[in-house]
Amino acid sequence: KMHVIAFDPFLSDSRAEELGVEKVELDELFARADFITLHTPLTDKTRNIIDAAAIAKMKTGVRIINCARGGLVVEADLIAALKSGKVAGAGIDVFEVEPAEYNELFGMENVVATPHLGASTTEAQENVALHVAEQMSDYLIKGAVSNAINMPSITAEEAPRLKPFVKLAEVLGAFVGQVTEDPIKEVEILFDGSTATMNTRALISATLAGLIRPQVSDVNMVSAPIMVKERGIIVAEVKRDKSGVFDGYIKLTVKTEHRTRSIAGTCFSDGKPRFIQIKGINLDAEVGQHMLYTTNADAPGIIGLLGTVCGENGVNIANFQLGRNRPGGDAIALLYLDAPFPENVLAQVRSHKSIDSAKRLHFDVGAA
């Protein structure tokens, strides 16, 4: 019987136990595994996840199987390892360049390479057509809707009011998803005031889609609740009457193995999403396509540091918002930028004695 170890940033300890797998960190997986299989989408975080440095951590004689996405494995590094014997064999059906008309991997005796067929077989196409016909029949005869791309359903009357808050819910989830690296255990979504009277099912789906999209790029409002449930993440919904100065807002709280994060937001009359609270610290920040988020001590020099770093690297600041819990306590800064903050400059920001963390963020809200 094969002992299965797994690395998944969303996998909780309890869910791993239910699945019968041992949860480990990525470097430990590389060091221990005899067979390594990839089951992940291609994102900025997973691109080239297996390169020469990763292969060097593996056992001599390891076997690598990639039937997920081309670009997860650096093919030149894999070829070199196959030739040296470090990697004993590989099974590949996805490639860096597709369609893969020629690839050095094809001629290697210790490689099994097959076409990236996906759903392109005759049988798969017939099954898809059959499923579509059955689902249309169910809808026309019984009124049952399944696998609809526009679910959860939204009526024509509620759509104009709901639309900006769907985007708000998505960006709240996206914020937490981009700053959270530990496995998520619990999610609480609070609807306060007017948002509690809306179609919260759609808002929950949008929140969850934004939350896991940084790790699972091909997620949407339909699949997000299912994917969250599969990962053993507990989702709670709370509704309450208006309790503050805002007519209505949404607050997202996420618990991981080690900490709790929270963020709240609302929409004003212009329909644009705004962050109104992060980590319990109040602020008023418009959401932009490119942003920089820092947590820091409330000390002199932070504004100057961030402004200087952006200026020296040709990044214009469109908006700069600050917040703190008390004088000299914990503080946050949120910069709305005209261009992405350079990844290689983050180390310069993080090295400042008063900076606790710095993250560059991206939101699908379009340019201002």
pLDDT digits (tens, 9 = 90+) for 149-206: 655 666 656 778 888 999 999 999 999 999 998 889 999 999 999 999 998 988 999 9
How does residue 329 score in pLDDT terms, banded at 50, 70 and 90? very high
- Return the active site residues: 69, 98, 116
Instruction: Tell me which of 97, 113, 129 is where a domain ends.
Output: 113
Assess whether pLDDT exceeds 50 at residue 368: no
Tokens standing for residue 225: 């609740």
- Asked whether residue 127 is domain-assigned, the answer is no
Do 315 and 223 lie in one domain? The reply is: yes
- Specify the CATH number for the domain of residue 276: 3.30.1330.90
- Asked whether residue 122 is domain-assigned, the answer is no
Instruction: Tell me which of 113, 146, 171 is where a domain ends.
Output: 113
Do 254 and 358 lie in one domain? The reply is: yes
Query: Residue 350: which residues within 8 A CB-CB, separation 6 or more?
Result: 357, 358
Mean pLDDT of 103-108: 92
Residue 90 exposed, middle or buried by CB count within 10 Å (0-12, 13-18, 19+): buried
pLDDT of residue 146: 62
- Specify the CATH number for the domain of residue 51: 3.40.50.720
Assess whether pLDDT exceeds 70 at residue 28: yes
Instruction: Tell me which of 113, 133, 148 is where a domain ends.
Output: 113
Quote the DSSP letter at residue 58: S
Residue with tokens 């590989």: 90
- Asked whether residue 257 is domain-assigned, the answer is yes
Strand residue runs (E) in 103-240: 111-113, 184-193, 234-240
Do 233 and 288 lie in one domain? The reply is: yes
Do 214 and 337 lie in one domain? The reply is: yes
Total of domains in the chain: 2
- Asked whether residue 346 is domain-assigned, the answer is yes
- Asked whether residue 15 is domain-assigned, the answer is no
Do 199 and 337 lie in one domain? The reply is: yes
Beta strands 330-337 and 317-324 are: antiparallel
Which residue range(s) make up the domain with 325? 159-362
Tokens standing for residue 321: 């918002």
